[in-house]
Structures are given as C-alpha cells and as structure tokens.
A = this chain, B = another copy of it.
C-alpha cells in the first residue's frame, strides 16, 4: 500500500468519492430534465477519470484533437470538438473520420464554413458541423439574429460529406454569476438566445438535431432547459475555488488537490515555503475579484481537511509561499519542515494540466490508483 505521505511532492491528488459525488449531481440533474449530458473531458483528460463521470460510449466534448484521438481509441464515438476549427487541422480530422469516429466540429463564420466546403471533397467520411452561437457577448459565436446564420447552415447542409448537425453555445459569462438568481437568469438567457437561432433556421426550413448549451453554472441552474437537446459541462467533476467562489459548490466538494511539502520558513513574515509553485499549481488567479481571493490555492492538511485562513499567497516556478489572511504565525506542528499539505486549486483545468498523472485516494491516507492523462494538440 502506497501512502500519500510517501509520495514525491508535488503530486496531483484526486479524491475519488468527491469526484463520484460531483459526477452524480450532474447526472441526476440531466436525468431529471431528460437531457443528454455531454461532459467536457478537458478538465482531467483522463480515460480512468472519465469512466466515472462520462463512461464510454457517452457523448463527450473535447478541447483538442489530441483528446479526440485519445478518447476515440477507447471507444468514444460521439465527440464534439468545441473550439472553432482552423484549416491546418483538416488532416487530423480526416484521420479521425477514417477511423469511423463520429466527430462534430464547429464554425462561427461564413469564412470558416467556406473553408470546410473547400476541403470537403478530400474528407474520408461524413463530417458533422455545428454552428456556434454567441449567447452572452463573451467570446466566440455568431449573433443568433444574424442573417448569415441561415446562409452558413444552408451552405453546410448543401455540401457533400458535410452534415449540418445543429447549434452550440457556451455562456461563459455564468462564471461571474454569484447568486442563484443570476445563474438561473444566465442559463435562461443561454437557452433563449440559442432558441432564437433555432427558430430562425426553422423558418428557413432547416432543423437542428443538436441544440447544445452549457457551462458548469448554467447546466446546474434551476431552470428547465426548454428546446435544448443536451448539456455540456466540465469542471463540475472536480470543482475548484472559482466555482466555490460563485457559490456553486462548497470548498469541501473540491475533488482535486496538489500534495506539497514544507521546505522552509520566513518566520518574521509568517511565511511557510512549499515545493508547489506555479509549475504545480498553475498561474491561474481566477478568484482575484471574487469576494474571497484564494491567491494560488487554499491550504489543507495531508488528509484534505481545510486549514481556515491559510492560502498560497505567492508562487515562483517551484516555490510557493503560504500565508494567513490575517497575518497569523504558522502553527509549528502543522507547518514544520517536511510536513505535507494539500492545496485546493483555483482553476482545476489549469492545475490538472500541470501533471502527467493523478494519484487517486479513497480514504485520504493511501493511494488506491494512478490515472494517466494526456496533453498537447
């Protein structure tokens, strides 16, 4: 039996029971609404983790074609690549089509759609294409009222080897919704705006097999997702300090943490130095601007129990500095040289991506499994 205490630090720890509980919460939500759940696997990018929250052949969402290949090789055959396609990725897409993977790509412009029609003759199979709709004025997507939407859908529908699949939207603005009311309102807006696009296509005689929306906050919102066929969400599986900061979960629900060792002190400053810097924790400071600024992460003991008020205040590449919000001196027993701690991530997707593998625990004392993950594009 490998103990957490015997691992080389820094290491990335997954609390399996928390992961299962988080997965169940979203699965039950979708079941209640009778909606397809298409988890975004970009947070952990791990087949073993996905067995818990998106067991094959679940439809999945990916953020890179490397993820598409990795999950396809394990039997996932309904894959939405949710980043606007660029021309230099056609060869990689073709390889997936040759392997009979049901891949859906997205475009949000006539230029993107035309580029696909130009390469369509070379495709080794039928490529599903969805159009991204902008529902919150935040990032990508076509305005649901834009007339080009119908033109794009028609062009895609009329092109051999392309299959117009429907619409997708992502209300990233929900990450700034702190109250339940605000989250529900944003989820409602996400649905309403994509339905404007659905209606405009319907008027032109074009139907949408897929009407896909989601972000973790809007997927969990307390609304009925009228007119929607499926929900997408990713970070719900582990949650993180950003999600806890918008009151979507408790800090104790966070399933991912970074195991670290105390390597020194600066006593006059009340600092504890640890061997987890930004290379382990990531540079994400997503809680700056939230009510509770968690710096680079909140501090727990080795068993995952929160040490209230302690957070990672600074990071360099391999050094982290732990301090107390009130400037308290570190407790000698907990923070002695060589002691091990666990840091809850600000943004789980960013922190998880700093590691090649996860050490899984069921009892917060020992390692029950090691899960692999992938990187790259």
**Which residues of A come within 8 Å of B, CB atoms?**
6-11, 42, 63-65, 83-89, 91-92, 108-109, 111-112, 115, 134, 139-140, 172, 261-266, 273, 275, 278-280, 282-285, 314, 316-319, 321, 336-338, 340, 347, 349-350, 353-356, 375-377
B261 lies within 8 A of A87 (CB): yes
Task: Name which residue of chain B comes closest to A314, CB basis.
Answer: B139
Please name 5 pairs of A and B residues whose Cβ atoms are closer than 8 Å in the assembled complex, sorted by A. Answer: A86-B262, A88-B340, A134-B266, A283-B285, A317-B350
A interface secondary structure, majority = loop
> How far is B9's CA from A84's CA once the two chains are assembled, in angstroms?
12
Known: A9-B88, A92-B8, A317-B63. A83 touches B263 (CB 8 A): yes
B-side contacts of A63, CB under 8 Å: 279, 317-318
> How far is B172's CA from A267's CA once the two chains are assembled, in angstroms?
19
Return A234 CB to nearest CB of chain B, in Å.
9
Given contacts A9-B89, A83-B318, A283-B347, 4 further A-B contacts (CB under 8 A): A86-B275, A111-B336, A112-B263, A140-B319
A112 lies within 8 A of B264 (CB): yes
Return A59 CB to nearest CB of chain B, in Å.
19
> How far is B87's CA from A275's CA once the two chains are assembled, in angstroms?
11
> How far is B136's CA from A266's CA once the two chains are assembled, in angstroms?
13
B-side contacts of A278, CB under 8 Å: 284, 350
9 nearest A-B residue pairs (beta carbon)? A111-B337, A84-B263, A86-B261, A283-B283, A87-B338, A283-B284, A83-B318, A63-B318, A84-B264
> How far is B275's CA from A88's CA once the two chains are assembled, in angstroms?
11
> How far is B236's CA from A364's CA once the two chains are assembled, in angstroms?
42
Return A109 CB to nearest CB of chain B, in Å.
6
